[in-house]
Chains A and B, each alone.
Chain A
Amino acid sequence: MKVLRSFCPEHLQESIIGDLLEQYELNISRRSGAMSNWLFLYNTFRFFRLGILSRNQFGNHSNFLAMYKNYFKTSIRSLLKNKFFFTLNVLGLSIGIAACLLCYLHIKYELSYDRYNPNADDIYRVVTGDVDTGQGWVMVSAPMPPNIQSRVPEVEAFTRLTGFTRDPKVTVEYNRNIFSEGKFFMADPEILTMFDFQMVRGDRNTVLSDMNSVIISQSMAEKYFGGNDPIGEQLNVDSRLDFTITGVFEDVPHNSHFHMDFLISFQNLERVKSGSSLTSNWGQFNYYAYLQLAKGSDQAEVQAKIQDISLNIGSNRNFEMSSIGIQKMTDIHFVDNRGNMKPSYNFKYIYIYTAIAVAILFISFINFVNLSIAASTKRIKEVGVRKVVGAIRSQLVTQFVTESLLVAFFALGAALLLSQFLFIPAVNELMESQVAFDFSDPMLLTILVGLLLLISLSSGSYIAFFVVSFQPIAALKGAMKAGGKGRGLKNALLGLQFLISTILIVSSVFIYQQLLFMKDKDLGLDKDRVLNVALNNADAQSKSSLLKAEIAQISGVRSISASSFLPGGANGNHGIDYEGRTEDQSMFIIYIDEDFIETVGLELIEGDLEQISDPSSEKSVRYILNESALKMIGWETALGKSFTAFGSRNMLPVDGVVKDYNFRSLHHQVAPCVLAIVKNRKQNQLNIKISGDLAGTLAQIETAFYKVLPEMEFEYGFMDEQFDRLYKAENRTSKIVGALTVVAIVLAVLGLYALLTYAIQERTKELAIRKVLGIKLQGTLFLLSNNYVRIMIVTNIMAIPITFYMLDGWLGNFSYRINLSPLTFALIIVLSFGFIFAIAGLKTFQTGRINPTEALRNE
């Protein structure tokens, strides 16, 4: 009955209910009580029909609608009247919204690493050392995983994974075309199910069962075969082994911790890599290993079981099982451990980016509110009239919220457009990620709607509160004195905005300085104009001396050497021995040839360059230590003392000592290092110092290269660029902070401008009177800006320690760093004050044109 009342028009209720009751009584006399009850309910609900419902008159419905229409209309009109402010609002807000959206997309992307894999939670990587703090090494030896599986029942499957060679790239030849490929791997076939590879061609249970099979990614199939069928074709790898294509897999998603274009069976290990073994060599920690545990296994428990395994491999070993651990696959992306295939993502950045995105949203939001208030003073009369006519408070608030909603809506649209066509491509390039909008993501939609509501409700109601609080009479009289109301809040908001901008400006300046510093720092080696040419297969490496001789003849080439040196790294970390050794020690080793020292301009402080670079020397290995190595060993002088990096039996006298040079990035101190000239070693690149015309010489080198290696790809890079690449993360941070700084400055300037406009509107009469009394332009400038200058001083006092603390932490990452000079701080602060005065000056100039008679007329 109540139900019926709720939807039934009042004037019909009585008779309908009466009829229903009568029918009920009739029914009772004919049928059972329960049946009648049901029929009563049924008949009641049958009244829930259009013919009844449409007879409801929704009270003052039409009136309401008209009013909203009017609100909407006045809103649009006032927005259009202030096209300039409107555009500023929309732009400012859209930047804030876009920042939040991008931040969300970015975080979501980074967190999605490896999550596409349905087994992700059950897969662990076998590691040694402390992987949680980034001190781990993420590879183990080949016989270890099968042994673990046979002794730990939780392990359902394992796979080992390793690159084809230790060199960065390997050549793949098909149909006499040679390509250099960096993503050529071998793994146990279980990897296909464990990592959820999707096969385009071939069955993933059998494609790798043959040793001579290779499977390739879809993009490689496209690259090598175009539209043709790759199955059954032969690929020659590293100019020595042939493999038959048996399958094609879908490209590995970008958000996985590994990448892969070619894959062969791990059974090839022994024939591909000399000195390796599938069943012994327990100490060769060179291979990635993954375990798939039974669902619900406990990581700590399994790890304990692994560490308890006792191996029957004799005492001659350099590791203990107790140092072996397992790392969750979904953690791999977030800790920078040595040996990771892809650069890791520092979790800290999630907080930093979120903070910055929220800060920008906040700034743009403050701007929006301030600008809207500035614009709304013009509408006080409108509000006054509405009040007089009888608008109640809530209706006025509704009107302003509607207006904010309108602006927020436009801003949202603009933000989506800006992101889609401008920001997302930029971010993807910068972060090497593949983020995109996915509107089926409920979280994204929630954020969009949430932002829309948040902006419109809070700003709208604040504006409404501000405007509506005027007495109608005062408003209509035209007295627009806002008085002290809300000034404190406004000042606080403005101060916060200044604070954020100042911090960003100072940070970006110092980050940029540090980058410049790293670029220009004297590394102890001459990296400019050094060309590195890659030798990517066995064939090319064996012909390196021929190629070297050919290139040396080019007039623009000052010197040329072959080495395996890559900026940022070393070729290995070897245990060493020397005369008088008391404890175990190891140091980095870099393989070079006779001419390397001259080519990269290392400074020899002991030894004879001519003797070292004598190609006819009979010595099997020549050792050149660096200063740090000398210090570590504790020698005053090294020349002639016996030393080895290749086992105690091969001790040889040291040939020289070079001054310390930074072969790794400037995050690190120079480490002890030995340069080894090993006779007849195959090196994976040529280093060429160019003295003549760069482009011309490069072309000649290319010609010489193709003359010796006609089928190879000419791959080269400049050493200084390779060094720069070590600072990719820093470069990225610098770019992001730089971009954000620009945004923050623009927003802050807009905000200041709006507030000044507002202040002037408020004080037109005052200024006019002052003008009549003969105030000078400087006086006006002071009058207008002194409030902001005061805020600025307070903000700067707050900003300096905050920035100092933050930047000092960041610079702590580097062993070689700039100092935070107070001069730079001072300069930036002076500049920002200059900014304020410039804007105030602009406004002052405008007020200078106020005609006092006009301003004072309508008193």
Chain B
Amino acid sequence: MKGNYLGEFEELVMLTCALLKEEAYGINIVEEIKARMDRSVNLSAVHVTLYRLEDKGLVTSTMGGATAQRGGRRKRIFQLTSLGYRILRETNEKRQSLWNLIPELKML
């Protein structure tokens, strides 16, 4: 299915999501990407991507508990679905198989 391919940014967000587990919400993802990938992304971009992934059924969201930090507002915690995991893995495997086909070139 055409829609099952992941965009690069989508993949990145999903990976970060998986990494952060219980702490995977908007601003945390932004900070994580910034810290690990040395890449500055805009909060709104992350939000939009998360909502899109949710539409595709690759992540689900639940409202977390409120903290004093955010003016009492709850967080929306995102979690990968099993479909999300599978697609992420498949994407990685397919890419790996491609890498495996070109070892010689890599040496040059």
Contacts and interface: CB of A to CB of B under 8 A. Distances in A.
A436 interface: no
Interface in B70-89: 70-71, 73-76
Contact of A18 (B42, B45, B49, B73): B73
A23 B27 contact: yes
A47 interface: yes
Contacts of B70: 18-19, 21-22
Given A18-B70, A18-B71, A19-B25, A47 B44 contact: yes
A51 B31 contact: no
A661 B26 CA distance: 104
A19 B27 contact: yes
Interface in A97-132: none
Nearest to B45: A46
Interface string A5-21: 00000001011111111
Contacts of B73: 14-15, 17-18, 21
Dominant SS among interface residues on chain B: helix
Contact of A51 (B52, B63, B74, B75): B52
Contact of A12 (B51, B52, B71, B74): B51
Contact of A15 (B26, B45, B48, B71): B26
Contacts of B75: 15, 18-19
B76 A22 contact: no
Contacts of A222: none
Contacts of A47: 43-44, 47
Contacts of B49: 51
Contacts of B69: 21-22, 25
Interface of A is mostly: helix
A25 B47 CA distance: 18
Contacts of A14: 63, 73-74, 76
Interface string B14-35: 0000000000011100110000
Give the residue among B30, B44, B52, B75 with the most A Cβ atoms within 10 A. B44
A691 interface: no
Contacts of A49: 44, 48
Given A26-B27, A46-B42, A49-B44, A21 B71 contact: yes
Contacts of A26: 27, 31
A15 B74 contact: yes
Contacts, number: 69
Contacts of B44: 43, 46-47, 49, 52
B68 to A, nearest CB: 10
Contacts of A25: 69
A46 B47 CA distance: 11
Contacts of A18: 26, 70-71, 73-76
A: interface residue count bin = 20 to 34
Contacts of B25: 15, 19
Given A22-B70, A26-B31, A49-B48, A15 B63 contact: yes
A55 interface: yes
A23 B26 CA distance: 9
Nearest to A14: B73
Contacts of A22: 27, 69-70
A21 B44 CA distance: 13
A51 B48 contact: yes
Contacts of A46: 42-45
A322 to B, nearest CB: 82
Contacts of B45: 46
A25 B26 CA distance: 14
Contacts of B76: 12, 14-15, 18
Interface in A1-59: 12, 14-23, 25-26, 43, 46-47, 49, 51-52, 55
Interface string B36-47: 000000111101
A17 to B, nearest CB: 6
A14 B72 CA distance: 10
A18 B52 CA distance: 19
A128 B27 CA distance: 87
A598 B10 CA distance: 110
A51 B71 contact: no
A23 B71 CA distance: 12
Contacts of A19: 25-27, 43, 47, 70, 75
Contacts of A55: 51
Interface in A300-353: none
A59 B82 CA distance: 33
Nearest to A46: B44
B51 to A, nearest CB: 7
A12 B46 CA distance: 13
A52 B47 contact: yes
A22 B44 CA distance: 14
B43 A20 contact: yes
A47 B47 CA distance: 9
Given A20-B43, A21-B69, 6 more contacts: A18-B70, A19-B25, A19-B47, A23-B27, A43-B43, A55-B51
A-B CB proximity, top 5 nearest: A51-B48, A15-B76, A18-B73, A19-B26, A46-B44
Interface of A: 12, 14-23, 25-26, 43, 46-47, 49, 51-52, 55
28 contacts: A14-B63, A14-B76, A15-B25, A15-B26, A15-B73, A15-B74, A16-B47, A18-B26, A18-B71, A18-B73, A19-B25, A19-B26, A19-B27, A19-B70, A21-B70, A21-B71, A21-B73, A22-B27, A23-B27, A26-B27, A26-B31, A46-B44, A46-B45, A47-B47, A51-B47, A51-B48, A51-B51, A52-B44
Interface of B: 25-27, 30-31, 42-45, 47-49, 51-52, 63, 69-71, 73-76
